[in-house]
Structure 1
Amino acid sequence: MSSKSSMAVWAAPQRCARRAGAWFSLAALSLFVGHAAASPAQVGAIVPESWPDKARGEDIRDGMQLALKTWPGQTPTLVVKDSACDAKKAAAAAKELVASKVDVVVGGFCVLGTVPKQIRDAGIPFVSANAERFTMNAEGIIQLGDVPLNLADTIAAKLRSETGLRVTSSTACWIDFEAKMPDGYDAVLCPMLHVNGTRWDDIAPAFSAAYRKPFSVAAARGYAAMQVALASIKQPKPGVKMVKADQKEVDTVLGKVRIGEERATPDDAMLLSFAPKLPRMSPAQKAKLDEVLKSKACGCAQSGACGAPTAWSPMPFVIADGKTCGAKGLVNRR
């Protein structure tokens, strides 16, 4: 499959995921889900196992399994359903998990669709691993994503309008966190994944030993989502300190995840990458591109070299320079 056709195929489910609509959030994560002492909790997971990348789906599952194995409480049962990155299949999977009476559901790795509403209506906590954050209001969800809903599209549209460049924010990078320039475009806007480097280095050897493969971004996403899901389960072993009911955040391999509160969007929530060769531009378009480059240059905020504030200054993206920003793709170790 060509890169262009691949991009188009990926973009469809991603846009479905990113158009699911604004809904609720977990204003206060249900940190104490009731369980019978002798019965282990059940964690439901909706994972794109069969398509578009079986290996990536397997890594997500393995990451979740490792988090379960290292959980100090009574080990919950993991119930995995395949979404195949399809909204209808994800909805069917959610229906099955609700019928199974799971205690918490993890999903959104590829597609959301109606899943959040289904899980909310069933009164079950939902952990979204989607790259985008939806509007927070009532109870029901914790989100790992950093980018507010539709913000990437808004920025890409402004870039297209003012520079004349073909800029896209609807590629596979919003699902697999791999920065690739799609055919037919001059620039691509992708989400950044902020990794706790110390925790990553602690977890990676155990993952490699258990599964005989490297600890990947997909595995880290599964691990982090499960860390948050486990925070909703009251299943401690004797002597294990309980999670506090007023806990405000969960410290994961992908950084701190806030519970029940909006968090500030990182200045580098997204990475803007340009093609090696850009098309001819008018003087006005060149001037606007120069303004963008100066305002959002990698590290300019820290060095004070961003110049006078512009309309671009508060936008949460940086420009890939191949050295610092984007040197490790869409992964930013902290």
Structure 2
Amino acid sequence: MIKILANDGIDPVGKALLEQAGFVVDTETVPQDKLVEALKNYDAITVRSATKVRKELIDQVPNLKLIGRGGVGMDNIDVEYAREKGVAVVNTPAASSLSVAELVFAHLFTGARFLQDANRKMPVDGDTQFNTLKKAYAKGIELKGKTLGVIGFGRIGRETAAMGLRLGMNVIGYDLYPFTGHISLTFQDDISVDIPVKTVSFEEVIAESDFISLHTPFAAEPILGAKEFDQMKPGVGIVNCSRGGTIDEQALINALDSGKVAFAGLDVFDNEPTPLAAILQHPKISLTPHIGASTNEAQERIGSELASLIIAHFTK
């Protein structure tokens, strides 16, 4: 009987699929420092972003046959090392794309209309305060017709691009692996339109975008820092729903304070779960606590897809 430790949880639909297939699934979270001992009793482990599966752990649990990542990035797993040791590694790269893209636009709409600051200062006491705020937030901007730059043109980046195209935005993208193809947009009555899209240079995205959204894996050095902010359009908006560490946060604060960057939307941070106080308190930053894939629909898709991958591996 195959035993699976879903250490960062799994959607009930995924758990039910595994159990119907004859697997035993435990969802009690085991602390990182106790995983070695616990995993000696399991054939597989599934994780999200919290649990780390490094080579030291892999070496000490030779009975482990599979590592499943519910989501896209696998920065918390030593993937190649695991595979060299004969441990299968699977993930669900497409399941959360729509949810993350929608959060990107939640941040874009928020920043474009000052919602993060307006919510902090409402409710008001009397006409004077109300009219003062009304005047302060009267210079919002529309997204339609603006240029959205997408850095990282994988599944989530392309989903974000598609959403921008539906809103009438001009979209340009950059990726380490150049992309030339079509993005298919489906509208009411199942009418589909294929929009030709190709990636451009990093420098072009930086210089020409009115808004920039990051969709890259973890990077050893920030992708956006003081140099990149200097090269952007005045009043640019920045959104990061990918990985902490991809933006130099102090450089971002400086760019916000100078007015070079109009606003930022951040779902990920350098020091989770304790971001810089200056980030948390900044009136031009819209904040969410790493919830890009945290919708009911995405979690169900992740659980179902992960269960299917695990079942396929152990029954092939």
Q: Does TM, normalized by the shorter one, top 0.5?
A: no
TM-score (norm 2): 0.32
TM-score (norm 1): 0.30
> Which structure carries more helix by proportion?
2
